[in-house]
A and B are shown apart, each in its own frame.
Chain A
């Protein structure tokens, strides 16, 4: 689908960017309701249900941004996040949605959330508009 039209939800670990409040607001102002951010104290706080609800709410793509492997402040929060995301992917695939709609992104050190987001926004999107939004 046209990446300019994609509705994107981003769950992210606040530890990735200490200035996340300011940095994400700039993109929110720019993109309006095309983008929704959900800061988490640690990506390990994510629950499978939150990912499913984001898809149910009509997001075309849901990203879960974690610290890089081995860099989690709480040791294994990002590993748990990855496992829950994998389970959520299985659940959406069970109803016929593409697993690619849920993706875990490992942030590089020193990347801010707006930099990460802008990089995600330039990606090609290989799935169509969410059938949950269209109907």
Chain B
């Protein structure tokens, strides 16, 4: 899941200041799960912006809509019949959603209401953890499904560093040491032999070394 957090209201207000008719578009997938850009968050922000405008004596019109997925054309198309009636789209989608909407409606101003943060898991209600850097070369099979690139503050493939205290990271005492988890899990699974492997430096060309990545699947194309 892609996680995000709502931008401070002052930043959002500054972005939308020149406009009075706003199409506030949420996304019902990842950012709804992390409670930053789903239907409910769209309504909360719309309510705040309406109240703020009334208190300042400004006219504002906000249309609320939440797309099932803001990064897929078939869902973005729901905006087609509405978009001409508004000055601007304020997106509560992740960065991919904002860019996808702007790509479809090239003459429309699309503004981000969220700061896209990381790929992560819902640990429990109200807590999200980063656990994937989308490096393009997944090695979780070697590390008992604990990503050392993401979850070790030092990104060590040949760990541990030896600095952990009480099974927690020396960089952040609230974070469990990824290598402690890796060793414990490998031991539980009878695969401590994995620790004998020496890993070469990561090939970052599979990450963002060559600019934005692209996946092409002929069988999926129209």
- A residues near B (Cβ < 8 Å) are 47-49, 52-53, 55-56, 91-92, 94-97, 131-132, 135
Contact = CB atoms under 8 A, between A and B. Distances in A.
B51 A135 contact: no
Interface in B23-74: 40, 43-44, 47-48, 50-52, 54-55, 57
Contact of B51 (A47, A48, A95): A95
B47 A53 contact: yes
Contacts, number: 40
B54 A132 contact: yes
Q: How large is the interface on B (under 10, 10 to 19, 20 to 34, 35 or more residues)?
A: 10 to 19
What 10 A-B pairs have minimum CB-CB distances, sorted nearest first? A95-B52, A52-B47, A94-B9, A131-B55, A56-B47, A49-B43, A56-B51, A135-B54, A95-B51, A95-B48
A132 B47 contact: no
A135 B55 contact: yes
B88 to A, nearest CB: 20
Residues of A contacting B: mostly: helix
7 contacts: A49-B40, A49-B44, A92-B48, A95-B51, A95-B55, A97-B55, A132-B54
Contacts of A131: 54-55
A115 B216 CA distance: 68
Interface string B1-19: 0000000110000000000
Nearest to A87: B44
Contacts of B8: 94
A86 B190 CA distance: 48
Contact of B48 (A47, A52, A135): A52
